[in-house]
Chain A
Amino acid sequence: MIKARVTVTLKNGVLDPQGKAIEGGLSALGFEGVDSVRQGKVFDLTVEGDDATMAEKSISKMCEKLLANTVIENYSVEIL
């Protein structure tokens, strides 16, 4: 079994109202010096097999097809 972590983040220049709201929340709690917050998503996957290169390839395809919307999001795949 191979464990992998996919991180999906908004592309630069794409407005992130949720990140902005979190930024406001941190400021309300008294945390100072937070310049910006961008919200993303993390997916932990367990896939069959032991070929990490193959797994990475296959998971990248999953990102292109479903896990990320590449119009607005970037993704990265990390084999753990």
Chain B
Amino acid sequence: MMKSTVIQFPGSNRDRDMIAALTKINGEAPNLVWHTDTEIPDTDLIVVPGGFSYGDYLRSGAIAARSPVMQEIAKRAEQGVRVLGVCNGFQILTEAGLLPGALMRNAGIRFVCTTVKLKIENADTVFTNQYSQGQIIPCPVAHHDGNYFADSKTLKQIEDNGQVAFRYAEGTNPNGSVNDIAGITNLAGNVLGMMPHPENLIEAGHGGDDGRALFASALNIVSTEAA
């Protein structure tokens, strides 16, 4: 069984949802690591959850990205450990330079809390290999700064390299993200950042379980049948 770890920052608030999802899908609770820790226990998957770390001061994710635990996450990512950042976690990973680009204020100014259509743009990553290429799933989003931006050179690189894992589909782009980008990986493919919340889509009570396959992929779990 693969081991998972959830990182907690002051202001994280989707950490509990993430812990519940990982516990349910993996059959074992994740390790919890506080942001001031400089060591992370042996783990196969590190999750940086959503929320409002440090109250979004300066820029969303900016302060969290400079916290002590991030150096260790960067080191593990370099070694090939899988790292997943959701929502604020995505913002933190871009601020930390583990993923290219930046997440800016939503184009429509407003906080968006809705369900989008999410297209699996690359089903060949360690996070998406239990989806089919081009599959479209509904997925909840809840954020104020989800407007993905990268300069044209970087954008071309991530598009050409297949680093776009998820795109908002069928006109549901809620934030003005360039090329409808909802989630990207690093070049090596072991770090994924995404604005939508797959951890809030793992059982019937959530209105569907289309998020399970992401965790099942990341944790090498073959069966994705609901528990």
Contact = CB atoms under 8 A, between A and B. Distances in A.
Interface of A: 14-15, 17-18, 21, 65-67, 69, 71-72
Nearest to A20: B109
Contact of A69 (B95, B109, B151, B176): B95
Contacts of A14: 104, 149
B123 interface: no
B62 A69 contact: yes
Contacts of A67: 58
A66 B149 contact: no
Given A14-B104, A72-B104, A21 B149 contact: no
Contacts of B106: 17
13 contacts: A14-B104, A15-B107, A17-B105, A17-B108, A17-B109, A17-B176, A18-B105, A65-B66, A67-B58, A69-B59, A69-B95, A71-B100, A71-B151
B101 interface: yes
Majority secondary structure of chain B interface residues (helix, strand, loop or mixed) = loop
B181 interface: no
Given A71-B150, A72-B102, A15 B109 contact: no
A58 to B, nearest CB: 17
Given A14-B149, A15-B147, A71-B150, A66 B66 contact: yes
Nearest to A21: B109
Contacts of A21: 109
Contacts of A18: 105, 109
Nearest to A68: B59
**Interchain residue pairs A-B with the least CB separation, the first 3:** A71-B102, A72-B102, A17-B109
A17 B107 contact: yes
Contacts of A17: 104-109, 147, 176
A71 B149 contact: yes
B102 A66 contact: no
Nearest to A10: B104
A7 to B, nearest CB: 15
B214 to A, nearest CB: 26
A32 to B, nearest CB: 23
Interface string B83-94: 000000000001
Given A15-B147, A15-B176, A69 B102 contact: yes
A67 B59 CA distance: 9
Interface string B34-75: 000000000000000000000000110010001000000000
A66 B62 contact: yes
Nearest to B151: A71
Nearest to B66: A66
A14 B155 CA distance: 14
Contacts of B95: 69
A66 B67 CA distance: 12
A67 B57 CA distance: 11
